[in-house]
Each structure stands twice: as structure tokens, then as C-alpha cells.
Chain A
Amino acid sequence: ETGVTQTPRHLVMGMTNKKSLKCEQHLGHNAMYWYKQSAKKPLELMFVYNFKEQTENNSVPSRFSPECPNSSHLFLHLHTLQPEDSALYLCASSPRQGSNTEAFFGQGTRLTVV
């Protein structure tokens, strides 16, 4: 148990659906991250929030929309996804962006777009 919880663990959605991924951390951290992990590819940084402010959008398509209502919660809203968006979506947290310490990851949400 890393202190970072992601729900749901698995999600199957159609290309016209709208769904949301949730991440919650109980570590008192102020930075939260979304990563995408596809087969045979490195983890891709998607979004970074530091003290609830978005500080990084790594050229992510607008069909992915993040939301960070407070430092403990992070959401990823999904709409009109494509099959190539199927992947493991990982949330992580750290004390703050640039703190030079490790990141704590959740277990991920395995997303399948049909």
C-alpha cells in the first residue's frame, strides 16, 4: 500500500462514452501526476499539478481532461476516446514538484476502449 489509491482498477468504455478516473493520496503531498503506460513504451507523463495548479500538459489530446480540486484528489475525465488510448493509467504523488524525492504511484487503472 503506497498511500495512493486509484479507482476503478479496470474500465471498459466505448468510444462515445464519458468516464472519469479518480486518484486519492493520503500522504500530505502537494504534487500529483498522471502517467500513461502502453505496452512496449515508457511511462508517458501527461499532466502535473503542484499545489492544485496545473504546471504541465505534455501535449495531451483534449479528450483527456484533468481536474485537481484539492491537493489530495486528482481526476482524469475521459470522453470520445480512441482504441489507441487503451493503456494503464497511473497516478503518482510527491511532496511537491521538484522536491528531488521519489514518486509514490497508485496501482493504476487498466483502461480498454472498444
Chain B
Amino acid sequence: SQKIEQNSEALNIQEGKTATLTCNYTNYSPAYLQWYRQDPGRGPVFLLLIRENEKEKRKERLKVTFDTTLKQSLFHITASQPADSATYLCALDITGANNLFFGTGTRLTVIP
């Protein structure tokens, strides 16, 4: 069964709005969670890492939250731009073997 779920396969939003992407996980309590961006035909690029003892992390227009009780992370892009259009992946260690496992990703499209 899928242990890392990114609820929306695709998300369309208007330019300037805030995009919110969700990542849910089961069966483990990871020490950290990561978010990546992937453009078509290219490898994922790291964006943010949040540790289990951190509730929130920010980087420029990006914000990540981590709720270890709900086993959920939210990824926000404020003041979204068409250049933010990409697939966003969450990743975490779900086995304790210190290897990254990825969700299926959410394809974000920011409409001008």
C-alpha cells in the first residue's frame, strides 16, 4: 500500500495566489521530511528540509509545516508565479534505513 500520499495529482491556481500542497505518510515516524521540485525530463531539485522537532520552515516564498501527530506536511508557495509550475515531491525515510522514499508528486500549474 502507498505509504506516502500526495493527495492531489494536479493543482491549478491563479498567479498571485497561494498554492498549498499536502503530503501524508503512514507506518513510520520520520526524523525529517523533504520537498523537491521536478521539471519535465529533469531530476528533482531540493527545496526544503524540515525536522521532526520543527513545526515550520520558510525560504523566500516557500513555507513547509510538519505535523508529526497528523503525519502530514503542508507545502505553501505564496504569491505564486507561472515559473513555479512544476511537479512537487515530498520525500522521507519510511523504513528507518536512512533512505529517501518519494510520493507520487503534485503537478502544479500557475495560470497567468
Whether B43 pairs with A100 at a CB distance below 8 angstroms is: no
Shortest CB–CB separation between residue A82 and chain B, in angstroms? Answer: 23
Question: What is the size, in residues, of chain A's interface with B at 8 Å between Cβ atoms?
Answer: 27
Instruction: Pick the contact of B42: A35, A43, A45, A107 (CB < 8 A).
Output: A107
Instruction: Give residues of chain B (73-111) contacting chain A, Cβ–Cβ below 8 Å.
Output: 89, 91, 97-105
The number of A-B residue pairs with CB atoms under 8 Å apart is 59
Whether B99 pairs with A41 at a CB distance below 8 angstroms is: no
- With A101-B49, A102-B46 given, is the CB distance from A45 to B41 under 8 Å? no
Instruction: Pick the contact of A42: B45, B51, B98, B102 (CB < 8 A).
Output: B102
User: Does B44 sit within 8 A of A, measured CB to CB?
Assistant: yes
Which chain B residues lie closer than 8 Å to A48 at the CB level?
A: 99
Which chain B residues lie closer than 8 Å to A106 at the CB level?
A: 43
Binding site for A on B (CB under 8 A): 4, 31-32, 34, 41-46, 49, 51, 89, 91, 97-105
- In the assembled complex, 13 residue pairs joining A and B whose CB atoms fall closer than 8 Å, in A order, are A2-B45, A33-B99, A40-B104, A45-B99, A45-B100, A92-B43, A97-B99, A98-B98, A100-B31, A102-B49, A103-B91, A105-B44, A108-B42
**Given pairs A56-B99, A107-B43, 18 additional interface contacts (CB within 8 A):** A35-B102, A42-B89, A42-B101, A42-B102, A42-B103, A42-B104, A43-B101, A43-B102, A45-B101, A48-B99, A102-B49, A103-B34, A103-B46, A103-B100, A105-B44, A108-B41, A108-B42, A110-B41
